[in-house]
Amino acid sequence: MPATDGPSGHLGNLSTSGVRFPVKLATVPVKDVGLNAAIKAQTDPSFEVKPRIFEEFALAGRVAIVTGGNRGLGLEFAIVLAELGAKVYIIDLPETPSSDFTAAAAYVKRLGSSFEYRVSDVSKQELISKTIDEIAQENDGKIHVCVAAAGILGIEADCTDYPADMFKKVMDINCNGVFFTAQAVAKQMKQHNIAGSIIFIASMSGSVTNRVCIVARSLPQEMLRNRQ
Ligand SMILES: NC(=O)c1ccc[n+]([C@@H]2O[C@H](COP(=O)([O-])OP(=O)(O)OC[C@H]3O[C@@H](n4cnc5c(N)ncnc54)[C@H](O)[C@@H]3O)[C@@H](O)[C@H]2O)c1
């Protein structure tokens, strides 16, 4: 829970890495969850003891966006958001969504939620901004959740030989595309005063080398066969 210096929640200037800027944190109301619930239950016999975690994460009436949700992790995230009750917009490249997407869309419909598919490219700032603006307009400006899951692996190559054009493409999607997505969503959230969540999907491959691929590729074929 963020600390505040009083009921107004105003913290004044904070210093982070020598940079000073005005920060305002909203006062967070104390909820009857976790230890607070346990303590209340101890002293208040009328307090109903029941699991509250599902209510905490409920997204009924909320609008969520998932980039790269036509398949893979993005599609799994989209299903979770729909299970929690959100109306989920999936943004991806193909004109026609995948068969996995179609199956998921039918499934979440039966759960009482919905999937909407939009074609766009996160690496194109104007285009992704336009797509997200349109989604906001369809929902009275309200976007509550965004999961930026669109990403590519690029080619498998030794980093010392990695081609410049491929590296630029990876950065365009995985780095710039995530920024453009967050920027467009944040603009809408700010404009409509929504304290939503923007979630970035990273990979351990961003900080460590997946050495096993390189080792395996450099092993003689016979040794590789023995490893299977
Ligand atoms: N799969 C894993 O085990 C794993 C683990 C950790 C992190 N990640 C990360 O999660 C992200 C997604 O991984 P995945 O395995 O689901 O990948 P995936 O290839 O299965 O799915 C990625 C999706 O992003 C879409 N996409 C690519 N470029 C796009 C663009 N310019 N605009 C819009 N959509 C675009 C693709 O069409 C695809 O549907 C990646 O950033 C990846 O590094 C994956």
Per-residue pLDDT tens over the stretch 20-77: 656 666 677 788 999 999 999 999 999 999 999 888 899 999 999 999 999 999 999 9
H helices within 139-199, ranges in order? 164-170, 178-191
- Per DSSP, the three-state class of 33 is coil
Measured from CB, residues less than 6 Å from any atom of ligand 1 are: 67-68, 70-74, 92-93, 121-123, 149-152, 173-174, 177, 201, 203
Tokens encoding 185: 């969503």
Q: Which of 115, 203, 207, 212 to mutate to test the pocket of ligand 1 (most atoms within 8 A of CB)?
A: 203
Token pair belonging to 45: 């016999």
Cα atoms found within 13 Å of the Cα of residue 145, Cβ hemisphere only: 23
Domain assignments of the chain as residue spans, ordered by start: 61-153+164-208
Residue 178 burial (C-beta neighbours within 10 Å; 0-12, 13-18, 19+): buried
Please say whether the structural domain 61-153+164-208 has been given the CATH code 3.40.50.720. Answer: yes
Each residue of 152-182: pLDDT tens digit? 988 888 888 999 999 999 999 999 999 999 9
Q: Where are the beta strands (DSSP E) in the chain?
A: 10-16, 19-24, 63-67, 87-92, 114-119, 145-148, 197-200
C-alpha distances out from residue 151 to 22, 97, 198, Å: 34, 17, 16
Q: What integer pLDDT is reported at residue 130 of this predicted model?
A: 98
Question: Atom 32 of ligand 1 has which residue's CA nearest to it?
Answer: 121
